[in-house]
Amino acid sequence: MTRHRGPVLACSVIGAAVVALDGTVLTIAQPALQRDLHAHVGQVQWTSTGYLVAVASLLVFAGRLGDRYGHRRVFALGALGFAAASTGIALAPGIGTVIVLRVLQGICGALLQPATLGMLRTACPPDRPGTAIAVRTAAIGLAAAAGPPPARSYAATARCAAFGSAFRAGPSSRMRHERRRISGSAMYGP
C-alpha cells in the first residue's frame, strides 16, 4: 500500500457513500418537497428518477474517463460539481430547477463512483485491494440504507430551517404535528 492509503480510502468511502445516500434520501421527503414547491407527484418523482438514471447510465463512461484522464481528476470534478449542484438545490426556487440540478448531481455522482474505486486500486498493491474495496462497498450499503432517516429530518423541518425561519419564529403547529407523525413513522417505515 502507498503511504497515502488512509486519505485515499477516506475520500473513496465518503465519495461513494454520498452518491449512494443521495440516491435514497428523497424517498421519504417527497411529500414535503411536493408541498413546499407546490409540485405534482410526477414532478417530485423525477427528482429521484432523474438522479438515478443519470448515475446509472453514465457509470461506465465515467469509469473510462477516469482511466483516460486520471481518477483523481475525475473525482475532483465530480465532487465539485456535486457540491455545486447540492447548493443550487438548496436555493432552488421551483421544482423544475430541482429536477435539472438533481440530474446534474447524478452526472457528477457518476463521475465520483468509479473514480473512488480507481483511486483505491491505485493506492493498494495489486495483490491486496480486497480490504479497502470491502470497506468502500460496506459504506455504500450503509449509506443507501441510511438514506431515509435524513429524509425524515428534512420532512420534519419542511425546508424552512434552510432559510432560518424556524430559528426566528419557532416551529409552527404544522411542523410540530409533522415531527410527531414522522417520528412515529420512523419506527414503522413510510
Q: What is the pLDDT of residue 40?
A: 92
Q: What is the pLDDT of residue 2?
A: 52
Phi, psi (rounded to 5 degrees) for 128: -140, 50
Task: Kindly report which listed range (82-91, 143-152, 164-173) carries the lowest average pLDDT score.
Answer: 164-173
Q: Grid coordinates in use for 164?
A: 432560518
Structural contact between residues 124 and 83, judged by C-beta atoms closer than 8 angstroms: no
Please determine, for residue 185, whether its predicted confidence score (pLDDT) is greater than 70: no
Chain-wide mean pLDDT for the chain?
Answer: 75
pLDDT tens for residues 15-42? Answer: 877 887 777 777 777 888 888 889 999 9
Of 111 and 120, more confident: 111
What's the one-letter identity of residue 13?
V
Spatial separation of the C-alpha atoms in residues 47 and 45, rounded to whole Å: 5
Helix axes 5-24, 148-157, angle to 10 degrees: 60
Q: What is the pLDDT of residue 30?
A: 84
Task: Kindly report which listed range (35-39, 74-78, 162-166) carries the lowest average pLDDT score.
Answer: 162-166
pLDDT tens for residues 41-65? Answer: 999 999 999 999 999 999 999 999 9
